[in-house]
Amino acid sequence: MKNKSTKKQPKFDMIYGAHSIIELLKAKKRKLYSIYTLKQLPKSFKRVERYLPKSIPNIQYVSRDVLDRMAGCSDHMGIIALVSPVQYVSNFNSIKNKKFILLLDGVKDVRNLGAILRSAHCTGVDAVVLCQKRGALITAATHKASAGLAEYLNIYLVSSIEHAVSQLDVLGFHMYMAVLEKGKDATKINYNSPTCLVIGSEEYGISKSIRDRGTLITIPQKTADISYNASVAAGILMFLLRQKLQ
């Protein structure tokens, strides 16, 4: 006999760690459905508690093993929240009013992505563009690596890096692409607005298909046979461009 109920079960995002959950609650963009925490309340719960709404639908007190299995790691600080899914901005045309945006070209490590989003918020980037093809999207690990600051960003999601660059070109953005070598010294050039900083993948850098669509820039470093981590390079360049654009 078929189940007569056609009601779909709600889809949740999982967020863990005190910083992530606190910033999510402060931002008030997403609905909190439930909290999972330890039977013996951890310090992290007490930090989160002051930001919780008066009426919480569901608090589950479980063992650390249960939290480890839910999170897929032990990095949850004794607290997990189930919340409504992250909302990416789908109307790409609305980005035309932004002055300084960040485009990620194939950044795959979710923690690198989180660190980049954290720096994006700290440096005042107006929007971040992620690509579904070949790039990481926001996960619980990403959110935690951003210290929850991803919650405050305007994050656009497009199909591919080629599509993103074509659309940004039409909208008049000047693209500056971070490369390891054969780029202009990032500290010595003038940047035009509206500005798009492009950060490539950890392994391959900027995609060959778009390298000729903007200005290649390089961070000066001690020797040519070393390089910054993608998230560190992104942070340096976002800070530099923000100072240059002021």
- Condensed to tens digits (0 to 9), the pLDDT of residues 41-66 reads 999 998 999 999 887 768 999 999 99
- Distance between CA atoms of 173 and 197, rounded to whole angstroms? 10
Q: Which residues, in sequence order, are CB contacts of 167 under 8 Å at separation 6+?
A: 92, 158
| pLDDT tens-digit map of 147-163 | 999 999 999 999 999 99
- Whether residue 5 has pLDDT greater than 50: no
**pLDDT (0 to 100) of residue 223:** 77
Distance of CA 75 to the CA centre of its chain: 18
- Work out the average pLDDT over 213-237: 90
Q: How confident is the model at residue 203 (pLDDT cuts 50, 70, 90)?
A: confident
- Work out the average pLDDT over 131-148: 94
The dihedral of CA 233, 239, 240, 241: what is its sign? Answer: positive
Cβ(79)–Cβ(34) below 8 Å:
no
Long-range CB pairs of 184-189 (<8 Å, 24+ gap) are: 184/215, 184/216, 184/217, 184/218, 185/217, 185/218, 185/220, 186/217, 186/218, 186/219, 186/220, 186/237, 186/240, 187/219, 187/220, 187/240, 189/215, 189/217
**pLDDT (0 to 100) of residue 189:** 93
Enter the tokens of residue 195. 């500005």
| pLDDT tens-digit map of 181-200 | 889 999 999 999 999 999 99
- Work out the average pLDDT over 220-246: 89
pTM above 0.95?
A: no
Enter the tokens of residue 207. 């995609």
Enter the tokens of residue 64. 């650390």
Structural domains for the chain: 13-83 (3.30.1330.30), 92-245 (3.40.1280.10)
- Work out the average pLDDT over 122-144: 95
| pLDDT tens-digit map of 79-112 | 999 999 999 998 899 999 999 999 999 999 999 9
- Distance between CA atoms of 66 and 59, rounded to whole angstroms? 14
Average pLDDT score over the chain: 92
